[in-house]
């Protein structure tokens, strides 16, 4: 993806994420988040949760991947600012959607700002904005 191929108002392709027990547990452990609510259903329920749920580091990574899947390998994440809403419980599906809010050149970089929302069956799991730098032209690098 190049900067000149992006338009303000452009919608990104929807990305669906199956929120499986394996995804929640493995990504929590990979990010060294050993809180029991991310891997032990009995403990999560004892603390008032209906099931184990995804940690913020996983959500942040999935949002970043959503953007770089759209831009391709030349896109460089500059900032990811997210806010969590309802939990992502095992057995649900999160649908990530995005819309280009702005594009601008700053200090020689071509920046695109995308508003992102990830919804599951209970509502918005994540909302935020991502800024990504894109090349002006494809030099075949």
pLDDT, tens digit, 9 for 90 and up, residues 51-87:
999 999 999 999 999 999 999 999 999 999 999 999 9
Q: For residue 140, what pLDDT is reported?
A: 56
Q: For residue 100, what pLDDT is reported?
A: 98
| Residue 54 in tokens | 């995804």
Provide the CATH number for the domain around residue 104. Answer: 3.10.129.10
Number of structural domains in the chain = 1
Low-confidence ranges of the chain (pLDDT < 50): 141
Is 125 a member of any domain? yes
Is 117 a member of any domain? yes
Contact present, 79 and 130 (Cβ < 8 Å) = yes
Is 64 a member of any domain? yes
113 φ/ψ angles, rounded to the nearest 5 degrees: -105, 125
Instruction: Tell me the pairing of strands 123-134 and 92-106.
Output: unpaired
Is 34 a member of any domain? no
- Residues, the chain: 141
Tokens 């020689």 — which residue?
A: 108
Q: For residue 139, what pLDDT is reported?
A: 56
Is 24 a member of any domain? no
Spatial separation of the C-alpha atoms in residues 79 and 131, rounded to whole Å: 5
Spatial separation of the C-alpha atoms in residues 93 and 12, rounded to whole Å: 18
Spatial separation of the C-alpha atoms in residues 53 and 125, rounded to whole Å: 11
Is 91 a member of any domain? yes
Q: Is the pTM of this model over 0.85?
A: yes
Is 30 a member of any domain? no
Tokens 């992102």 — which residue?
A: 116
Rg of the chain over CA atoms, in angstroms? 17
β-sheet with 109-120: strand ranges across:
15-19, 92-106, 109-120, 123-134, 76-84
Q: Which domain holds residue 88?
A: 3-18+56-134
Is 38 a member of any domain? no
């Amino acid at each position: 993806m190049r900067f000149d191929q992006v338009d303000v108002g452009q919608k990104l392709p929807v990305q669906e994420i199956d929120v499986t027990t394996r995804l929640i547990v493995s990504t929590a452990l990979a990010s060294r988040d050993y809180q029991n609510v991310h891997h032990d259903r009995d403990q999560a329920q004892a603390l008032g949760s209906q099931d184990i749920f995804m940690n913020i580091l996983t959500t942040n990574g999935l949002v970043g991947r959503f953007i770089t899947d759209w831009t391709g390998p030349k896109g460089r994440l500059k900032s990811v600012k997210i806010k969590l809403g309802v939990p992502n419980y095992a057995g649900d599906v999160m649908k990530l959607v995005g819309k280009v809010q702005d594009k601008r050149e700053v200090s020689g970089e071509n920046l695109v700002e995308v508003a992102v929302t990830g919804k599951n069956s209970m509502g918005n799991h994540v909302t935020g904005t991502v800024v990504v730098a894109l090349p002006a032209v494809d030099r075949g690098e």
